[in-house]
Amino acid sequence: MTDAPLPTVLVVAVALIDVDGRVLIAKRPQGKKLAGLWEFPGGKVEAGERPEQALIRELKEELGIDVSENCLSPFVFASHAYDSFHLLMPLYLCRRWDGVVTAREHDGLAWVKPIKLSDYPMPPADEPLVAWLRDLL
């Protein structure tokens, strides 16, 4: 018997970077998959959305901030096979936004120096992104 191929799900995520070079990570809430792990914020791209539109929507919903599209630069892709789907996740960099970053859907937020990111347990898709950010910042 052959296994059914896993669907590929496109998720967009962001590394918000503050003036001190710290990166925002957010704790996934109880009741959701991967609860308690610290992720780069973002979410699924919905039908008919461009990835950047999806990220702008997610940042408003999750963090209460406004980001303009020309402030988002795609940096690196994460690719990871979860149990029921294959996740493909571009990580964007963003250094400018309007509004105060607020945890609207997460259990907590942390601004973390890249060298310290590995102290935080992350979803497996996010973990490889840490080394890329350390090299960049």
Residues lying near ligand 523 in the complex (CB under 6 A) are found at 11, 13, 32-34, 39-40, 42-44, 87, 123, 125-126
- The least CB distance from residue 20 to ligand 523, in Å, is 22
DSSP 8-state assignment for residue 21:
S
In the complex with ligand 523, the residue whose CB is nearer, 2 or 48, is: 48
Nearest residue to 109 via CA among 27, 43, 18, 13? 27
Q: SS3 helix, strand, coil % of the chain, rounded to 5?
A: 25, 35, 45
- The least CB distance from residue 98 to ligand 523, in Å, is 21
In the complex with ligand 523, the residue whose CB is nearer, 68 or 79, is: 79
- The least CB distance from residue 95 to ligand 523, in Å, is 19
* Tokens at 57, concatenated: 């929507």
DSSP 8-state assignment for residue 70:
G
